[in-house]
Chain A
């Protein structure tokens, strides 16, 4: 009888891997899409800087020592409206004062603008997880291969992240007798 040993091996295997009942799938949390392995870099297009604003260190160089006091900006960047939990944060909570050409996480670890999703993901964990899985946000490329993800900042202005309303494309023409298409 060959079958008995096979069944035993199967049950033993199931027990060893921590699942009591036979045929149990690993819990969903463990089944992440491969391309979303934590920490893996994700291919993104260049971050959406306003014209001529980057690198920040062109202006924020050693002649301009950082002023870490929270305040309303009056000389520069006055066009930036902060509507993103503004009661609790301001520029230097995300922008790095020591290296102006990057951002920083809550831990202080520096993050390039091309990986800003790690910064956003600190607060928006659920969206971040969906984004990594390709379910939140836009992607272009191959369904079974190379894909390019857009950064959070490509669709949401990080200072004012609410998605802007758009003008819709024209409504379809109503079917009419003359086109032969019945309307009802």
Chain B
């Protein structure tokens, strides 16, 4: 695994990490045994009143009407994503659309999408990928681009290692994090083979006028310092039927999204008609994020 996919994920598990993960597990056990409840266990009415409190708090902080939705997963829906590697030109429009939509910290900078530039001659090769390419114009000769964010694994290593159960896969397949329950131990970051999880080193520095007020409690509400965050397929949008922000932002239409269970969806059309691959297939994470060649 190359450094570009995990530049904020120290990969070899060190003794110290192991120790802190173990300590975290112990703390988690105590919390679970006698602490407050996790959001996913809170009864619906209670959750709504908690979110009403949050709405009031955020509205006051950001000086605008903020809504915090609790739209649950719909029946018969499992979300999946597909990205056309033969179209992506590496323009990073998706990266910044994501930052704006999902209230990612501007300073220090958090990007859920990382666009990797790769050599056409080498093919997909993370050891030689570059996320920091700088160019006057893209695509650059001899390169192609592979944007990487959370792959929404069906067999997610990240949720298994969480000592407190603060991250899990929802019924519609979105892997989410309870920001109130996360203890910031970062075990999940070490476990994710895609470098998809990011840690908040400080409170999100977002100018009030840039805050997106349409929030979901498991998605883009501002994360406090000390918790982990990642792509949620724009849970606040897709649970309301909309496309994720990156799908609409991509100028070349490389990004496709839909319901894996719907045989009429774009996603199914791609899986059935195109050459499709997933990243690091050999790890058996079973991503629901597919890459394909449209041409």
A interface residue numbers (CB < 8 A to B): 28, 31, 33-35, 130, 133-145, 150, 155, 163, 165-175, 179-184
Contacts and interface: CB of A to CB of B under 8 A. Distances in A.
Given A33-B269, A171-B132, A166 B95 contact: no
B269 A136 contact: no
B186 to A, nearest CB: 11
Nearest to B135: A168
Given A33-B269, A174-B132, A139 B137 contact: no
B243 A134 contact: no
Contacts of B138: 165-168
A155, A169, A184 — which one has the most chain B CB atoms within 10 A of its CB?
A169
Contacts of B133: 168, 171
B252 A163 contact: yes
A28 B269 CA distance: 9
A76 B143 CA distance: 40
Given A133-B269, A165-B137, A145 B132 contact: no
Contact of B269 (A134, A170, A175, A182): A134
B181 interface: no
Contact of B111 (A35, A165, A172, A183): A172
Contacts of B251: 138, 155, 166
Contact of A183 (B7, B95, B259): B7
B91 A136 contact: no
A169 B95 contact: yes
B201 interface: yes
Interface stretch (B21-29, B48-56, B260-268): B260-268
Contacts of B136: 167
B7 A135 contact: no
Contacts of B139: 165
A141 to B, nearest CB: 7
Do most interface residues of chain A lie in helix, strand or loop, or is the interface mixed? loop
B197 interface: no
Interface string B123-143: 000000001111111110000
Interface of B: 3, 7-8, 10, 84, 89-93, 95-96, 108-109, 111, 114, 131-139, 199, 201, 238, 241-243, 247-248, 250-253, 256-259, 262-266, 269-270, 272-274, 294
A165 B89 contact: yes
A175 B198 CA distance: 12
B99 to A, nearest CB: 10
Contacts of B272: 28, 31
A33 B269 CA distance: 8
B104 to A, nearest CB: 11
Nearest to B114: A172
Contact of A142 (B137, B242, B294): B242
Contact of B109 (A34, A166, A168, A172): A172
**Interchain residue pairs A-B with the least CB separation, the first 6:** A138-B253, A169-B92, A165-B137, A134-B266, A142-B241, A137-B253
10 contacts: A34-B264, A133-B266, A135-B266, A136-B294, A139-B247, A163-B89, A171-B92, A172-B109, A172-B132, A180-B201
Contacts of A171: 92, 131-134
A32 to B, nearest CB: 8
A179 B108 CA distance: 7
B242 A135 contact: no
B137 A31 contact: no
A142 B138 CA distance: 29
Nearest to A130: B294
Nearest to B137: A165
Contacts of B134: 168, 171
